Structure 1
Amino acid sequence: MLNWDNIFATRSLRMRASEIRELLKLLDRPDIISFAGGIPDPALFPDKDFKQAYAEIFDSTAVNSALQYSVSEGYKPLREWLIKELAKLGIPAGLDNVFIVSGSQQGLDYLGKLFLSPKDTALVTWPTYLGALQAFNAYEPSYDQLTPGGNRTPESYRATAEQNGGKVKFAYLSADFANPTGETVNREDREKLLALAEELDIAVIEDAAYQSLRYDGEPVPPILALEIARKGSIEETRTIYCGSFSKTLAPGLRVGFIVGNAQVIRKLVLMKQAADLHSSTINQMAIAHVAEHGFDAQVAKIKAAYSQRRNSMLSALQKYMPAGVEWTKPEGGMFVWVTLPKSLDGAKLLAKSLETAKVAFVPGQAFFADGSGANTLRVSFSCANDEMIEEGIKRLGNLIASEIAAA
């Protein structure tokens, strides 16, 4: 019998199915109230705008370029639009600093490939975005815990990496309304992270997928903006900013972007050429059209909807969760992070919840690089209306209360 395990590369042993992708299958079950998928509400997609954009492309000579091979860096008008938007965030950039990828997930994969040799160390928060761990895992790294604003010395990070057989290569984090916690890193801690990165001489990967989705509180400058303010030019920076149109316009078109030092961008472009040549040109053109004609209005629409749902979820948690349960209070994004008493296990709770309460969520352990966090879970409010949130959190709270009483 052919044994493929003898033929696969050793890195394949680190590939695991995404618990979240599996849970998304539950969205088709009408009996389940799902807080599992951290995905945009399709009812809020600007579908009419995209219909018009594609129609205009096909009704013009631009269709020839839209259906043809294109440059690996990305559609120039889209990159030019991004440059104007980045300037509003305090990130002055040129065309050589902006690179289009097939969703920011592809960008994370490329960055893992660019920086990580086997046994090198990636610094990530505990917990962190599961998709980042999956992207980096293929390159066989070690992980160490990043605590923005923490007191660990650069020497301790360096020593741990050496013990694991490699070097510290980068710090990865989502600084605004992080997936999975919904938390935001304050300005002081962003500055401390930059200081740590300087001491270690590593890159900083700033995942800004949710940056546009702030509902209240004061905006904090992106880490890249803070570093440019320190150094005077993006060409002197070590921060790599990863963004996406998936949470604002439409995820199915798979259009994301990376912004950074031109030397880094040139290396990433070479990876693109080897992987898929370029991202879909027609989708980039459609994104550019919709963004130019109504990005701000679209963001305002989704912020109004998600803000209300966030408020409903926080209210329901306050009303129905038993003593001993804690949760974050995000100023934006799509997620609330729930911490259960130590005696409870999120995965076991999910199995019972699907059977009895008919409520889905994501157990938190998958978000921890060290496999800890069994007593945590993530709930998303982006695709649930007020009634679903009220009923679902009530059911979940009752189940958790019964589990605590039985423990």
Structure 2
Amino acid sequence: MSIEQIFATRTERMKASEIRELLKLLDKPGILSFAGGIPDPALFPSDAFAAAMAEIMKTGSDTALQYSVSEGYLPLREWIAGQMADIGVPCTPDNILITSGSQQALDYLGKLFLSPGDTALVGWPTYMGALGAFNPYEPRYDQLSVNGNRAASDYASEAETTGGKVKFAYLSVDFANPTGETVDQRGREAVLDMAEELDCAVIEDAAYQALRYDGEDVPSILALELARKGDLEACRTIYSGSFSKTLSPGLRVGWVVAAKPVISQLVLMKQASDLHSATFNQMAVHRVADAHFDSHVSMLRTVYGRRREAMLAALEAHMPQGVQWTRPEGGMFVWMTLPAGMDGADLLSYALETYKLAFVPGRAFFADGSGGNTLRLSFSCANEAMIDDGMARLGAAIRETMI
């Protein structure tokens, strides 16, 4: 007998992340990588964390090293509540759950809402980690429109083809992974209108919200819904935040803000899954955030903003005719569309072999496996000279492989 024969059917939809595999290339000499959407480790507030952790071990080790409540470290939840109030979402710590990164939040939300055959509305493309989190719960995917071009009744009737219902719309509205694009306020309002008609949830992934380099802030979907309804407990939007792109990805601290019935169910999942996120990590993040968050994020905006500008300038200088790309106002990504007939995966193979250049082919970001002529570039971990060199290599590789 092969043990694989008795695996649950959900494992058939669990696939390796292309990004996780590409990150292994960073250990190979000579590879110039624009693949991983990861923060620059040189910008981590390492000294602040070292001081915070030393102080925790000196004065708070009994709490830091012990089991704790599943909801999360209360001072950290109180700090997050203050941040949420600043963006138009006043809430209490009881509306907040600390998760092991926002990725765990997506897994829990898929588990909470999706039965086999239910429909999840997602972007085309969308964050591949969200697809990875939702896939084991065996949903059907449909393409989310943020411009109001599709009627809610169309979504509902198509969802019925698999015997399920539309359970949620998932979207990253600020500098989205992978496109770098931002949904304007009209689009956010349209998503809320559609969700009301479908009586489904909205999952707002705000992992990059703090990293705006120019343009005007747009109210979060949760803030817009709260303005409509006046009570967070009446809101269907679930906000997912993270410290991974601002303070540290390795400490794995994220959070969910939602109405209390949602939080209560997620707490039950947390208890059954890992009991609670690491208390030591939460305490460290709280101390660093409380003392340094605003100044640190301001520095990140300056550095990443320069790198964004360098990438856009290098693309203008080096890309052949027929190549298009997004112009993000923040975040870490530029999304490229190649001429029709080109394949991003084939281009990656050629670029690695010929130019020692890495990026992420776009197909993995599409729920239906389309988008072969797209790719994602990340500018977060390369300085301006590396960016210009890399885009020159990419332009050459595209010219040499164009049909």
TM-score, reference length from structure 1: 0.98
CA-CA distance at 1:403 after TM superposition: 1.6
Distance 1:358 1:397 in 2: 13
Q: Deviations over 1:28-52 (max 9, x none)?
A: 1221110000000000000000000
**Counterpart check, 1:37 vs 2:36:** yes
CA-CA distance at 1:402 after TM superposition: 1.8
CA-CA distance at 1:98 after TM superposition: 0.7
Gaps of 5+ in 1: none
Distance 2:241 2:36 in 1: 19
**AA partner of residue 244 (structure 1):** S
| Match of residue 176, structure 1, among 174, 177, 183 | 174
| Match of residue 203, structure 2, among 199, 202, 205 | 205
| Match of residue 138, structure 1, among 95, 117, 136 | 136
Q: Deviations over 1:48-88 (max 9, x none)?
A: 0000000101111x210110000000000000000111100
Counterpart in the other structure of 1:28: 27
**AA partner of residue 19 (structure 2):** I
Counterpart in the other structure of 2:365: 367
Distance 1:87 1:50 in 2: 26
**AA partner of residue 13 (structure 1):** E
| Match of residue 96, structure 1, among 94, 97, 100 | 94
Give matches, 1:90-169, under 5 Å. Answer: 90-169=88-167
Distance 2:58 2:18 in 1: 42
CA-CA distance at 1:398 after TM superposition: 1.0
Distance 2:313 2:149 in 1: 34
CA-CA distance at 1:231 after TM superposition: 0.2
Moved more, 395-404 or 371-380: 395-404
**AA partner of residue 19 (structure 1):** E
Counterpart in the other structure of 2:13: 14
CA-CA distance at 1:91 after TM superposition: 0.4
Counterpart in the other structure of 1:391: 389
CA-CA distance at 1:386 after TM superposition: 0.8
Counterpart in the other structure of 2:185: 187
Distance 2:287 2:393 in 1: 44
| Match of residue 352, structure 1, among 335, 339, 350 | 350
| Match of residue 258, structure 1, among 256, 259, 268 | 256
Distance 1:16 1:95 in 2: 35
CA-CA distance at 1:165 after TM superposition: 2.0
Name the SS for the 1:123 alignment partner: strand
Counterpart in the other structure of 1:86: 84
Gaps of 5+ in 2: none
Counterpart in the other structure of 1:297: 295
- 4+ aligned runs moved over 4 Å, structure 1: none
Name the SS for the 2:241 alignment partner: strand
Q: Please, what is the CA RMSD of the aligned residues?
A: 0.6
Distance 2:21 2:162 in 1: 32
**AA partner of residue 50 (structure 2):** K
Name the SS for the 1:216 alignment partner: coil
**AA partner of residue 254 (structure 2):** G
CA-CA distance at 1:301 after TM superposition: 1.0
Counterpart in the other structure of 2:71: 73
Distance 2:385 2:148 in 1: 40
Distance 2:138 2:96 in 1: 28
Counterpart in the other structure of 1:282: 280
Counterpart in the other structure of 1:270: 268
**Counterpart check, 1:218 vs 2:212:** no
Name the SS for the 1:253 alignment partner: coil
Name the SS for the 2:250 alignment partner: helix
CA-CA distance at 1:357 after TM superposition: 1.4
**AA partner of residue 43 (structure 1):** A
Distance 2:96 2:142 in 1: 29
**AA partner of residue 184 (structure 1):** T
